Structure 1
């Protein structure tokens, strides 16, 4: 008796199905590689931007410590000038006047050099107190001035770029009216519309 023919194996893959699975596998690998390439490109762009920002900051703020030290020297020159009695300044002694002018010129030259490198002086007198740029040392009772207005500068403050190098030490007013944030007034309509309302 002949052996029965083996039933055709339904599980056997056709060449078309094998090609299709290989294609799908390669398409999936392609998508994964594309995704990795995009992520690497994004990481490189972020690194480039971060490096550019770090280089910019290094250039802009590299002299911060040096500038802070020079501000101390400028303060000393300013104190020396302030310590000279008014009578001595008015005495008319040519040598003394020349010395005073020399010290003033030295201080100005130092501050000008710092300004060329991005160091700017804060001028808070009469401004609203800002804790980001000012350090309040005392309060001055004054009902005529809005509260929290800088009324006296004890020590000049400086910024380098957009960073505070040294806050201004200030006295602020107390007891006056509160400062109100400026509000935009309601803008009137065009003159024709206004006259129509009135009519």
Structure 2
């Protein structure tokens, strides 16, 4: 017993369809035009240029930061040592301030005073050589960057906010504060309020 199978007769149209299908599937992609290639190349160049500029800028920033850190390390290497010497300067000044008024009459005491004064001057001169400067702000306007207010003095006769007493001098090291000056600040009385009189009538 044989099976009947339907057989489509071959026609010129069928043969054309069979040959056209694989041709469309294997058709090559359209070639890029010269304008497209140029645009792509320019875009790539712009991207690479941007990356290069960013890398150069970052390298320059790193170089500057390294130089700044090196300079800071050089300038402020003596910070801890300088702070340790500040009490020495304070004690020399206290010794001079505590001398009796008649010290000039005693030759032995006078020689001692001169020696202490010379020591203090030498110490302050060496401080100056290394960028350490004294902050003695009496009579100056209070500056919270350099001074530490310990108390206020009312009715001092000075303008409000003026340093009228220095309990302990401060010091700076180049651009940095080593120790703030401890001060008393003038406190002025608040101006009395005056009633506003309308003179326009």
Shorter-normalised TM range: 0.7 to 0.9
Within 1, Cα distance between the matches of 2:48 and 2:70?
A: 32
Could you tell me how far 1:41 is from its partner in structure 2? 0.7
Q: Find out whether 1:92 has 2:92 as its counterpart.
A: no
The residue number in structure 2 matching 1:6 is: 20
Conservation of the 8 A alpha-carbon contact between 1:158 and 1:167: yes
1:155/1:170 contact within 8 Å kept = yes
Map of 1:39 onto structure 2: 54
2:128 is matched with which residue? 115
Once the two structures are TM-superposed, the CA of residue 97 in structure 1 deviates from its matched residue by 2.0
Q: Deviations over 1:117-163 (max 9, x none)?
A: 11112231111111111111122222521111101111111111222
Partner of 1:78: 93
1:50 to 65, 69, 77: 65
Pick from 150, 164, 183 the counterpart of residue 151 of structure 1.
Answer: 164
Provide the residue aligned with 1:30 in structure 2: 45
- TM-superposed CA distance for 1:18, in Å, is 7.3
Q: TM-score, normalised by structure 1?
A: 0.75
Give the structure-2-normalised TM-score: 0.74
Question: Partner of 1:166 in structure 2?
Answer: 179
User: Which consecutive unaligned segments of at least 5 residues does structure 1 have?
Assistant: 179-199
Q: 2: CA distance between counterparts of 1:97 and 1:46? A: 59
RMSD value over aligned CA atoms? 2.7
Question: Residue in 1 aligned with 2:119?
Answer: 106
Where does structure 2 lack aligned partners over 5 or more consecutive residues? 1-10, 192-201
Corresponding position of 2:150: 137
Confirm or deny: 8 A CA contact 1:149 1:173 kept in the other structure: yes
**Equivalents in 1 of 2:172, 2:142: separation in Å?**
16
Q: How many residues align?
A: 175
Name the SS of the counterpart of 2:84 in structure 1.
helix
Q: Deviations over 1:52-83 (max 9, x none)?
A: 22122222222122111111111111112222
Quick check: which has more Rg, 1 or 2? 2
SS in 1 for 2:106: coil
Alpha-carbon distance in structure 1 between the residues aligned to 2:136 and 2:99: 24
Distance 1:123 1:84 in 2: 21
